A = this chain, B = another copy of it.
Amino acid sequence: MKATKMFRAAEKPVLEDEDAGATPLCSGDAKADKKVGKALHKEIATLQEMLYAERNRKVLVVLQGVDCSGKDGTVHRLFSKINPMGLRPVRFDVPTSADLARDFLWRVHLQVPRTGEIAVFNRSHYEDVLHPVVYGTLDAGAMAHRYAQIRDFERMLAESGTVLLKVFLHISKDEQRRRLQDRIDDPEKHWKFDPSDLKHREQWDAFHAAYETAIMETDAPHAPWYIVPADSKPHRDIAVATLLAETLRGMHLAFPPGDPKLAKLKVK
Contacts and interface: CB of A to CB of B under 8 A. Distances in A.
Contact of A84 (B79, B198, B268): B79
Among A55, A177, A191, find the residue whose CB has the most chain B CB atoms closer than 10 A.
A191
Contact of A85 (B72, B267, B268): B72
Given A85-B91, A89-B84, A255 B188 contact: yes
Interface in A45-91: 53, 55, 72, 75-76, 78-79, 83-85, 87, 89, 91
B79 A89 contact: no
A201 interface: yes
Greatest chain B CB density within 10 A among A75, A84, A192, A193 is at: A84
A130 to B, nearest CB: 21
A149 interface: no
A36 interface: no
A87 B84 contact: yes
Interface centre among A75, A187, A256 (most CB of B within 10 A): A187
Interface string A236-248: 0000000000000
B91 A256 contact: no
A255 B191 contact: yes
A262 to B, nearest CB: 5
Given A184-B267, A190-B262, A72 B83 contact: yes
A122 B85 contact: yes
A266 interface: yes
Interface in A224-268: 255-259, 262, 265-268
A180 interface: yes
A181 interface: yes
Given A76-B83, A84-B89, A190-B259, 8 more contacts: A75-B85, A85-B122, A184-B265, A187-B257, A190-B262, A191-B256, A193-B262, A201-B268
Q: State the 8 A-B residue pairs at the shortest beta-carbon distance, nearest first.
A: A187-B258, A53-B191, A79-B84, A180-B267, A190-B258, A190-B259, A177-B267, A181-B267
